[in-house]
Chains A and B, each alone.
Chain A
């Protein structure tokens, strides 16, 4: 028996250390706040816009109509949602290939809400060190009101976010009126509270862990990265060896690099990494470290940009900005742009050519055909006519046989129908064929086309069907 080696039990799950990002100011922080304002103006504001006396953007799930400004979409138009998602995906690919994770750093809802929630947190609890002290302190009145106030403000904002989200599916003005009496429907309650809870939890507590452990995009974007992708980079040739020095001394004279090892870049990082160790998968490209380091360099009398947006080639080859910019037009970026452009073109063309009504032809299933007096043959159909405009429309029904054998085929029912705004109507239609034509055509199914024309605009839709002559 060999002597047992000393062993230790390790856990593959561990409580994560809480991150206390220090507040930062600078040009990238300002840019981020502009993006926060812009994205949230769009998100919170859009449902309040009106169009023709109704909500401009409304996804009415109950009646399955999706209003986007002047567009009225039916569930049959879902392909447009697919295209929209494709557009978003390729848009992200392109931005990532060129500029790295700027989406993550400036526009992602997770970043945006975290930014807002952290501002509220700072207002109640102070900056990094004060928050650390407050968390370490025993519970007392001060801690209670600071924490309580923060959560109250967070919850109000979170519920407002949930309310706005539901406002895209239920008319928001009606929802607003209902909120005074708390008379939402059960699903509205669920989604206001659930979306609010998710906002509170993700922006208040989960924060960087969403990016590190939950976000799939964070993980697959490394596939879009290459050495010419913009990232937040520490210029170690310039910074090392790091070490403290008095203000306005030439670092080279004391045998040091520009980095004074103040660790501010680590303190401001919302994901808790040290950018000086190089590109890490946690980095969301927010450039908080670049902002804070620029401030330090200003004070130390050194040039800015020790931590900056640069490409990997740019850092290692000491390239100028224009040298890096020249590398933007590389095959990867061109291919992404071409695909994106093609999808945009297809999307716009398809929307422009989209007819504002749709027709489905359904043959009656109970009986294929019937013989009426004097040997006439009739087939019956139901036409579903979907009006995608917001005015009542009259549609004229026409029929055309594919072959001459069906000459004499005619409508034996009303030849037009009025369909209300954004309404869908079923219309029974009968077609009649004279006995001679039936004999000429012979038994079996014969192709024909329904031609449905909107009377007001003259636009028409052609739908194929068959006419059955019985044996």
Chain B
């Protein structure tokens, strides 16, 4: 489009637009009348004077005059429309309308409409929110729009994306921690540890030790050999492999495998490390929305409560 940035093009387009409108009117008036030749006795016949194929003549059966007005009205409408909206070349239009301003207007109107609802919800604790059907309806819609792409519609996650319905938390499952995670996002990083652990067989042994922590199927001998090497891992994951909420180190002693299950997956993570991130939602969601969403996520992992889904308008 940069070729057409020069002001000349804008004037050219505007002039062309105006010219075609004028041409429409000229065409209308020219085509609305005809010269007919009078007969010898001075009267006109009832035709338009249009003869073709030697003897076919067109009878003049005039349309009503208001029909012509319809054409004129469309031209007047176009002129008004082009003037009010950004129509003539790159002119902004008298109304100053832009698609961005319309979008923002609509957002402001939607915010205004939902303000009383959020005002009510803002006064509630997370336990109250979790028990409130309307709040959970809002929470579910927010979840579906903003979270479900990664964590799944049922919030049970998938490889690399944590399951939010179990009691296993990387950064903490209290309401405040959940809010923090949603608002500011999280950056989880594990450096490649192969060099620190040792040889390839050492890495394999550590992997089997990790499997043994959760009582998963493992090679007992390899696990015993890997136990000693796990000391390096314990710096973050803790001596018993229970994880550390402060740095987002996963608990290795449960059967939750965020980055894959089995020896091969563990060897890969130890060898190559892992960076995992959750984006921040401040700015995308209002504080009130984050409160409701956090309460929704919080109640997902509470077995006493069934997941309340709420009606959608469609």
Contact = CB atoms under 8 A, between A and B. Distances in A.
Interface of A: 5-16, 63-64, 209, 213, 364-367, 369-375, 378, 380-382, 413-414, 417, 419-420, 423-430
A9 B153 contact: no
B161 A367 contact: yes
A271 B161 CA distance: 75
Interface string B292-314: 00000000000000110111111
Pick the 9 closest A-B CB pairs, nearest first.
A367-B158, A370-B158, A373-B255, A428-B154, A14-B62, A428-B153, A6-B38, A366-B149, A15-B65
B154 A9 contact: no
A425 B63 contact: no
A275 B301 CA distance: 84
Interface size range on B against A:
35 or more
Contacts of B152: 364, 366-367, 370, 380, 428
A430 B156 contact: yes
Contacts of B216: 374
Contacts of A423: 311
21 contacts: A8-B36, A10-B34, A12-B63, A13-B67, A14-B64, A15-B65, A16-B64, A213-B63, A364-B153, A365-B149, A366-B149, A370-B158, A370-B159, A371-B260, A373-B255, A373-B257, A374-B261, A414-B306, A423-B311, A424-B314, A426-B312
B148 interface: yes
Contacts, number: 134
B32 interface: yes
B256 interface: yes
A425 B309 contact: yes
Nearest to B255: A373
B309 A428 contact: yes
B183 to A, nearest CB: 21
B31 interface: yes
A110 to B, nearest CB: 16
Nearest to A209: B64
B311 A425 contact: yes
Given A10-B33, A13-B67, A413-B154, 10 more contacts: A6-B37, A7-B36, A7-B38, A13-B68, A364-B153, A366-B158, A425-B309, A425-B311, A428-B154, A428-B307
B269 interface: no
B8 interface: no
Contact of B256 (A16, A373, A419): A373
A380 B159 CA distance: 13
Contacts of A375: 261-262
B48 interface: yes
B35 A12 contact: no
B64 A15 contact: yes
B292 to A, nearest CB: 17
Contacts of B184: none
A366 B306 contact: no
B307 A373 contact: no
B90 interface: no
A63 B62 contact: no
Given A364-B152, A366-B149, A12 B33 contact: yes
Given A5-B38, A369-B158, A11 B62 contact: yes
B185 to A, nearest CB: 17
A13 B66 CA distance: 8
Nearest to B311: A423
B187 to A, nearest CB: 20
Contacts of B44: 8, 10
Given A13-B67, A426-B144, A380 B62 contact: no
